[in-house]
Amino acid sequence: MLNISNTSVSRYIDRSKFTSLRKAEERASSKVLRKVLGVFFGIALLFMFVPWTQNIRARGNVTTLKPDQRPQTIHSVIGGRIEKWFVQEGDFVKKGDTILFISEVKDDYFDPNLLGRTQEQLKAKEMSVDSYMEKVRALDKQIDALVQTAELKLKQTKNKYRQAELKVVADSMDYQAYKVNFDIAQTQFERFKELQEKGLKSLTDLENKRNSMQKAQAEMIAGENKLLTSRNELINAEVELLAVQAKYRDEIAKAESDKYTAMSSMYDAEAVVTKLQNQYMNYSVRTGMYYITAPQNGFITKAIQSGIGETVKEGTPIVSIMPADYDLAVAMYIKPIDLPLLEKGAQVRIQFDGWPAIVFSGWPNTSYGTYGGKVFAIDNFISDNGKYRVLVAPDEEDHPWPTALRVGAGASNMLLLKDVPIWYELWRQINGFPPDYYKPETTSLSDKDTKK
């Protein structure tokens, strides 16, 4: 009963008649409740000091660590018509295995003997190059012969010119001698003439002296004529020397002009040969592209083009292939506000879709069914979804990832940060503060090694 009055009536009640009242008054429920609340409060107080690992939650998907290990499509380098398939979806192919065969659709390559005809054109042009080369060699020999002949002819003409010079000198000396003799004969004649007029010499002696003077004069005139003839021969020798130089210079220049013309034609032919070689190799490579082969070992996942007789354009995807050998990774996307908290080597706990797990985000060691990973790479540019992509590689020190895991599967990720008490984490969540920033131990160890 409620004791709300100063006048108590409890002493007037016979409790033996009211069993429920007697039991209610005898219970110590308030004391038990206080003890229970005290115990729960103590446990809650102790629980507040339990370590809690701060984390960032992010969704992602399974991918591969290297770009060449990711699913890819095989394209047709040239346009063509599908003629035959050698594989079907789900088949395993090795590198170089034929996937399908296409035929040509461009009229420039319809000729079945295109390679042979191009090779014949190439051989013809190569023979033309050889012919021009032989012509150049023949002209080189002709030029060498002309140079040698010109040297000999010039030596011969110079010798002749030298002979004419010496002859002019000799005739000049003879003429001077004849002139001296004539002067002497003239002087003697004048002397004998004076003596004959005085009667000292006879007329016969005078006539002899006159005859001697005329003879000396005739010899002098003949010597002068011979000297002039020698001078003319010297001039002719000089003219001949210049003519020989001009003649062989013109012949050598003409031969060199023919040589350079042949070389120009040879270079043009070589350019055509190079072009034909390039064209031949293009035809040869294009012929090998009719068979589309697997770029690496893998499984044919989907045939994008199908049927027989369909025409495909250049660069059209034909089939998609999944490489057989790959290193798994997880690509997760985080908010820009969390980007400064990330470092390469940071620990990540991953829950894959299809692998049930009991997750305690703050106690990764007690999370059952999660797998370990480490941050491998962080994009420097934001993705189309407004978040930054982070590539997570398997943690070699943790349990290996499931072997049945496939590329493209979803994953829920927990990026582990600093260990703090639970009371601090609650206080941080209530105030809306970001998680504490820290650098992983692997980074600090590497920094220490670098400093050493």
* Dihedral pair phi/psi, residue 344, rounded to 5°: -65, 135
Q: Report yes or no: 362 and 52 within 8 Å, Cβ to Cβ.
A: yes
The whole-number pLDDT of residue 11 equals 64
We find that the CATH architecture of domain 114-288 is: Up-down Bundle (1.20)
Query: Residue 424: exposed, middle, or buried by beta-carbon count in 10 A (0-12, 13-18, 19+)?
Result: middle
What lies within 8 Å, CB to CB, of 378 at 6+ separation is 339, 342, 344, 388, 389, 390, 391
Q: Compute the distance between CA of residue 357 and CA of residue 350 in angstroms, rounded to an integer.
A: 10
Question: Within the chain, which residue ranges are assigned CATH 2.40.30.170?
Answer: 52-69+326-451
Question: Within the chain, which residue ranges are assigned CATH 2.40.50.100?
Answer: 72-104+290-323
Contacts 24+ apart (CB under 8 A), 278-282: 279/118, 280/115, 280/118, 280/119, 280/122
Provide the whole-model pTM.
Answer: 0.55
In the numeric block, the tokens 């002139």 are attached to 179
The whole-number pLDDT of residue 432 equals 67
Which residues of the chain carry a pLDDT beneath 70?
1-18, 21-31, 357-369, 432-452
Q: Terminus-to-terminus CA distance in the chain, angstroms? A: 82
The pLDDT tens digits for 156-215 are 888 988 888 888 888 888 888 888 888 888 888 788 778 777 777 777 777 887 888 888
The domain 52-69+326-451 is placed in CATH, from the list 2.60.120.10, 3.40.50.970, 2.40.30.170, 1.10.3720.10, at: 2.40.30.170
CA 62 centroid distance within chain: 33
Nearest alpha-carbon partner for 88 in 294, 319, 273, 311: 319
In the numeric block, the tokens 């354009």 are attached to 313
CATH topology of domain 72-104+290-323: OB fold (Dihydrolipoamide Acetyltransferase, E2P) (2.40.50)
* Dihedral pair phi/psi, residue 150, rounded to 5°: -65, -40
Q: Report yes or no: 54 and 436 within 8 Å, Cβ to Cβ.
A: yes
The whole-number pLDDT of residue 451 equals 43
Whether the CA torsion 243, 245, 247, 249 is positive or negative: it is negative
Query: Residue 373: exposed, middle, or buried by beta-carbon count in 10 A (0-12, 13-18, 19+)?
Result: buried
The whole-number pLDDT of residue 212 equals 83
The whole-number pLDDT of residue 365 equals 55
